[in-house]
Each structure stands twice: as structure tokens, then as C-alpha cells.
Structure 1
Amino acid sequence: MNQERIMSILLAPHVSEKASLAAERGEFVFKVAINATKLEVKKAVELMFDVKVDDVRTSVVKGKTKRTGAVSGRRSNWKKAYVSLQEGQDIDFVGAE
């Protein structure tokens, strides 16, 4: 895996009520590339946030079908990853010092 591929794996942190509850348990949720593997997600998180990853679980979220009048469309599928950190590790998205 090259450095450029690893840097393009993580797209954004996923913010939701469920993700906030998971963060209290030491799990963080990220939107990741649809073709990303668990090993790539682990390496990307360790590289970008300088933490030790314990476990990665991934899930493909199916896109919804939407309608506007007679026109029907579909949102794209996307993948999210639940990343569990080792004991004592934390990710600070705010960056306040």
C-alpha cells in the first residue's frame, strides 16, 4: 500500500447520535472509500491521528431512492468504518489545546 492510497481512504468523520454514543466507548466512526479494506482503514487512522487501532468494523450503507415530482433518482452507496482504539488512546477532532 502506498502513502497516497492510504491518505485517500478516510473521507470524513461521521457525525450522528449513534456515532456520539460509540465515541463514549472509545469507538470512532468514519466515512471511508467504498473500496477500502479493514487493513487500509486501520493504517490510515494510525497514520493520520497517531493512535493505536484495536479493531475495525465496516458497513456499506445503501443509498436511498428519492423522488422529486415524476423524476426518480438514487443516492450513492457509501461505506462507514467503526474504529476501536486501544486502551488509553483518544482522537481529538476539535484540536483545542
Structure 2
Amino acid sequence: MANIQYYDVILKPVITEKSMLGMTDKKYTFLVHPDSNKTMIKEAVEKMFDGAKVSKVNTMNQDGKTRRRGMTSGKTAKVKKAIVWLTEDSKDIELFQGL
């Protein structure tokens, strides 16, 4: 496995209606590095966002979708998503405040 630093683990947040509704329960959804595991994701969130304390992490791997362009077909890139649950006494993540 490659040497992955904590700032390489979280790629970007997922902004959907379902993820925005989960923020009221302190659930945040991120796209993460495909080689990362739950402990790496937990450490990355706690280091990148001050005052955030992670209680649990759920991860899911999604295969790429099959797409056609004319007669040729291919697949889009596969992604890994993580749903991060914060504890009750932790601060909210400021990245999502203005949304």
C-alpha cells in the first residue's frame, strides 16, 4: 500500500440532499482515497477539522457505471465513500456551514 498522509485521505465532500439531511444528526459524507481504511479516515477527520470527534465511520465501495459512446463502451472510475458520525459533544464541521 502507498504511503498515504492524512490530508490525502479525504478527497472531497459529497453534496446531495440525503447527505445534507444527515448533517442534522452529525453525519458527514466524504469521497475518500480507495486504499484508506476506517481508522485512517477517523484520524484524518479529527486532524483536519478542529474540535471534531468521530464516533464511527461507515465506508462503501461503488463500482464504476457502464457508459456507452457510440459503439464503444467503458466504465467510469470507481469511488469509495465514507459516512462519518460525530459525537454529541464535538463541534460541527465548518466546511458545511454555508450550505
- Name whichever of 83-92 and 43-52 sits farther off: 83-92
Report the Cα distance in structure 1 between the residues aligned to 2:25 and 2:41, rounded to whole angstroms. Answer: 19
- Give 1:26-45 correspondences, 5 Å limit: 26-45=26-45
Report the Cα distance in structure 1 between the residues aligned to 2:73 and 2:96, rounded to whole angstroms. Answer: 39
Identity of aligned pairs, percent? 37
Report the Cα distance in structure 2 between the residues aligned to 1:24 and 1:95, rounded to whole angstroms. Answer: 11
* 1:95 positional shift: 6.3
CA-atom RMSD in angstroms: 1.8
* 1:70 positional shift: 0.6
How many residue pairs align between the two structures?
Answer: 94
Could you list the runs of 5+ residues in structure 1 that have no partner in the other structure? Answer: none
- Give 1:11-50 correspondences, 5 Å limit: 11-50=11-50
Report the Cα distance in structure 2 between the residues aligned to 1:27 and 1:76, rounded to whole angstroms. Answer: 25
Which residue in 1 is equivalent to 2:93?
A: 91
Letter in 1 for 2:54: V
Is 1:5 aligned to 2:2, yes or no?
no
Report the Cα distance in structure 1 between the residues aligned to 2:9 and 2:28, rounded to whole angstroms. Answer: 15
Report the Cα distance in structure 2 between the residues aligned to 1:45 and 1:66, rounded to whole angstroms. Answer: 33
Could you list the runs of 5+ residues in structure 2 that have no partner in the other structure? Answer: none
* 1:69 positional shift: 0.9
Taking structure 2 as the reference length, the TM-score comes to: 0.87
Report the Cα distance in structure 2 between the residues aligned to 1:67 and 1:8, rounded to whole angstroms. Answer: 32
Query: Aligned pair in 2 of structure 1 residues 15, 95: CA closer, same or farther (>3 Å)?
Result: closer
Q: Which string of whole-angstrom CA distances, capped at 9 and with x for unpartnered residues, describes residues 4-63 of structure 1?
A: 611100000011111111111110000000011000000000000021111101001111
Taking structure 1 as the reference length, the TM-score comes to: 0.89
Is 1:55 aligned to 2:65, yes or no?
no
* 1:94 positional shift: 5.2
